[in-house]
Amino acid sequence: MNWKGRSVLITGATGLVGTWLTRRLIGLNASVVCLVRGPVTQDLRAVQGDIRDRTLLDRVIMDHHIDTVFHLAAQTAVGIANRNPVSTFETNIAGTWNLLEACRLSPLVKSIVVASSDKAYGRQPILPYTEDMPLDGRHPYDASKSCSDILAQTYAATYGLPVAITRCGNFYGGGDMNWNRLVPGTIRSILQGERPVIRSDGHYQRDYLYVEDSVQAYLTLASRLRQDTHLRGRAFNFSNESRVSVLEMVRLILRQMESTLEPDIRNESSNEIREQFLNAERARTELGWRAEFTLEEGLRRTIAWYREYFAGGKDDRSRELAVAHPLAC
């Protein structure tokens, strides 16, 4: 798909994936509008506001003649969701229906990609997860993603809205400054000569998707959605299909950084699913997408990014974009 001149709205543009997606689309000469909660930077064509503001969303989509929407905005921190479920539901669920309704009322929107999560499946008895499994989130964050996922399917089934859904595992890559997340927190600790902290017992299993692979997944789905009406309401798992435990991930980072530090295993986690990983066969067969980066190569690139960042090698623009708010909208 030729993105040149195409009018694109990205919600959650200051999060990890949103930052990389924004840069990629600008590089492809798309006309990108970002909805951001914080101050509007001079380099970004951004609108300051909240995903829960329906009137604002109506205006942004109409005024900027938006043709493609990437909905990444969400409250993504599990701990915050457990402590304050209502704000999580308001952002993740109400924010999603506000955006979908604004898109429904616009005759110009041709493609909408809504970011769900592997957490939307809840705890399933069979692994890996496939897209035909029920959505069964039981804890606040998981339930919010189940609901927003179903809302996207509802708007496709009832109104024919050109929307599709991504379900991904844990993202990682350069620019994530949420140090409570495993990969950036571990890398920063090692660079500072401190033992990396594992909040769980270390045996929780996940799959991890490098941020550049996730960006390509979003672009591929948005492009195909414009052409294939049968993709409306469809959900796709995106994964490199390589499951790894938290402890294995930390030890892999330690080896790549040639560190002799030992992890600090605290076993404090609660309301988290022990094993979650995805089958991405549907994305491979229907979209022709597959992860380009192995876990080892993605980590090498990520570690190199943070080494340069902490050495002061990243320019001010990179530092400005390298943010990962718990509420990335």
DSSP code of 275?
B
At position 106, the amino acid (one-letter code) is S
**How do the residues of the chain divide into helix, strand and coil, expressed in percent and rounded to 5?**
45, 15, 40
Contact call for residues 164 and 149 (beta carbons, < 8 A) = no
Alpha-carbon span 52 to 64, nearest angstrom:
19
Q: Annotated catalytic residue: which of 121, 129, 141, 210?
A: 141
Please name the helix (run of DSSP H) or strand (run of DSSP E) that holds residue 68, with its range, or none.
strand 68-71
> Known catalytic residue: 309?
no
At position 246, the amino acid (one-letter code) is V
With CA atoms as reference, report the closest residue to 150 among 172, 183, 181, 117: 117
Alpha-carbon span 24 to 175, nearest angstrom:
14
Burial 202-231 (b: 16+ CB within 10 A, else e): bebbbbbbbbbbbbbbbbbbbbbbeeeeeb
Query: Residue 6: is it exposed, middle or buried by C-beta count within 10 angstroms (0-12/13-18/19+)?
Result: buried
Contact call for residues 186 and 253 (beta carbons, < 8 A) = yes
Contact call for residues 215 and 30 (beta carbons, < 8 A) = no
| Catalytic positions, written as ranges | 141
